[in-house]
Structure 1
Amino acid sequence: MSKVENLKAEILKAQQDGDIASLYVLEQQAHDTLDEETIHGFYANILDLALERLTDTLESHRVMDMNEIQDFATLRALYEYAIEHYSASKLSDASALFEVLSGLSNDKKFSLALKFHWIASKENLSLDDFLSKIADIDATQNAGTFYISCFKEEAQKLLNASIIDAG
């Protein structure tokens, strides 16, 4: 069996098992080996599995556990999906996804970070402005999280203004 066939077999098994975490483990190998169209399908499958797990989580009225590998991978996939919407200037879709994600995890740091994302997109702040004015990219890179987790002082002002507007 060729390297490509082996990789495709591993990906297929992970998909059949609903194993998002294994798909992320295979991600770099997929990028190095597969063509662009196949990689697009690879990410579409991750998203499909993540949306299925989201539905199951919401229906079972539970929160995802950031320490559980499949929940962690699901949150990552859904976050990347929300950022994709934000990047495409689909602010209301991004905002709705960030709102759901902010309440989906037992991880308080993740939930707070997603509230900043949610409010910024809800307030029609572009992704570029969010990244330059609200997010602290250097600190986030040092934090080693898959999501933007560190913010400038401006973020707290945005959150406070949003709470005042809602109240």
Structure 2
Amino acid sequence: MNKVEKLKAEVLKAQQSDDIASLYILEQRAHETFDEDTLNGFYANILDLALEKLTDTLEAHRVMDMNEVQDFATIRALYEYAIEHYSAGAVADASALFEVLSGLTNDTNFSSALKFHWIATKENLSLDDFLANIADIDATEAAGTFYISCFNKEAQKLLDKTQEESS
């Protein structure tokens, strides 16, 4: 069995087990091994599993536990999906995903961060403007989170403005 076939077998096993976390563990090898079409399929499978888990979670009226590896991987996949929408200019779709994600976990830091994402999209800020004017990328990198978790003073101004408009 060659390298590609071996990796495909590992990916298939993870998919059949609904194991998003294992798929993320295989991600670097997938980047090094797969062609673009296969890699796109790899990410599509992660997203399909994450959307299934989202549906199951919502139907069960539960919150995801960021300390549970599958929930964590699911949230990561859904966040990346929302950012893809945001990046592609599908601001309304990104906004809806950010809103759902902000209430989906037991992690207050994640929920708070996603509220800034959601407000930025509701204000129709582009992703570039969000990254340049609201997010603090250096602090986020230092924090080591998979999501944008640190924000500058403009973020608080945006939050205050939104709260004033809604009252």
Question: Smaller-chain TM-score range?
Answer: over 0.9
Aligned to 2:50: 50
Q: Aligned residues: percent identity?
A: 77
Aligned to 1:135: 135
Size of the alignment, in residue pairs?
167
Q: What is the one-letter code of the residue matched to 1:105?
A: T
Q: So what's the TM-score if we normalise by structure 1?
A: 0.99
Q: Spell out the pairing of 1:9-88 with structure 2 (5 A cutoff).
A: 9-88=9-88
Displacement after TM superposition at 1:42 (Å): 0.2
Deviation >4 Å, runs of 4+: none
Aligned to 1:151: 151
Q: What is the one-letter code of the residue matched to 1:161?
A: K
Aligned to 1:124: 124
Q: So what's the TM-score if we normalise by structure 2?
A: 0.99
Q: What is the one-letter code of the residue matched to 2:46?
A: I
Displacement after TM superposition at 1:157 (Å): 1.0
Cα RMSD, aligned residues only = 0.5
How many angstroms apart in 2 are the aligned matches of 1:87 and 1:152?
A: 20
What are the ranges of 5 or more consecutive residues in structure 2 without an aligned counterpart? none
Aligned to 1:162: 162
How many angstroms apart in 2 are the aligned matches of 1:107 and 1:81?
A: 19
Displacement after TM superposition at 1:122 (Å): 0.9
Q: What is the one-letter code of the residue matched to 2:79?
A: Y
What are the ranges of 5 or more consecutive residues in structure 1 without an aligned counterpart? none
